[in-house]
Structures are given as C-alpha cells and as structure tokens.
C-alpha cells in the first residue's frame, strides 16, 4: 500500500554542528534500513529546498505513522501524507 510523503525539515538555529551531524547520521541509518526492507520505495530531494518526497510501501496507516514518527529527525520535520491507490494504467 503506497503513500506519498512530503517532508520538510529545519534544525533549530542554536543547535550545534556536532548535534546536527549526529542526527543526520542516525537518519541515514534509519532511512537505509527502510529502503532495504522495502518500506521506502523511493526518496528524492526537492531542488533548492530543505524538503524531500518519498514513496512508502507499508501494510497499514498505523505502520506508516510508526515509521514516520520514528524518524530520528522527526522532531524537526513537518510531514504531509497522501494516500495512494493503484493506477489502472500502471504496469508495475
């Protein structure tokens, strides 16, 4: 079951570079795991913005909520989700 998520993020101005780097490192591990498990089908950066789009493939709304709120950088994110259905013209 697919969902499109637009995620914007913004670190607090007063957060130190090391703390940011630590958050980013944890985020990378978490997002790599999501991709390897198949839960995150694709991930793109929006050109010139602190934002990304990703397609997630999970079995339920609850599982999606668990994944999104578990993102290490979740406290600094604003997420909006669109539920997707199979398109009759999709060949996949």
Question: Could you say which of 9, 22, 45, 72 contacts its own copies (CB under 8 A)?
Answer: 45
Question: Could you say which of 16, 19, 32, 37 contacts its own copies (CB under 8 A)?
Answer: 32
Phi, psi of 9 (to 5 degrees): -135, 150
The DSSP call for residue 39 is: S
73 binds its own copies (CB under 8 A): no
Element (H, E) at 6: strand 2-9
Q: 26 CB contacts (<8 Å, ≥6 apart)?
A: 72, 73
Element (H, E) at 52: strand 51-57
Give CA–CA dist 87/15, Å, rounded: 43
21 binds its own copies (CB under 8 A): no
90 binds its own copies (CB under 8 A): yes
Closest distance between its own copies and the C-beta of residue 26, in Å? 11
91 binds its own copies (CB under 8 A): yes
Residues in the site for its own copies, rule: CB under 8 A? 1-5, 12-13, 27-28, 31-32, 35-36, 41-49, 52-53, 55, 60-62, 64-65, 68-69, 79-92
């Amino acid at each position: 079951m697919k969902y499109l998520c637009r995620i914007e993020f913004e670190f607090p101005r007063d957060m130190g570079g090391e703390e940011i780097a630590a958050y980013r490192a944890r985020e990378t591990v978490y997002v790599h795991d999501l991709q390897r498990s198949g839960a995150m089908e694709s991930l793109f950066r929006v050109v010139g913005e602190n934002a990304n789009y990703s397609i997630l493939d999970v079995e339920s709304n609850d599982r999606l909520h668990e994944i999104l709120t578990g993102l290490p950088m979740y406290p600094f994110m604003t997420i909006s989700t669109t539920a997707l259905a199979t398109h009759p013209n999709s060949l996949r």
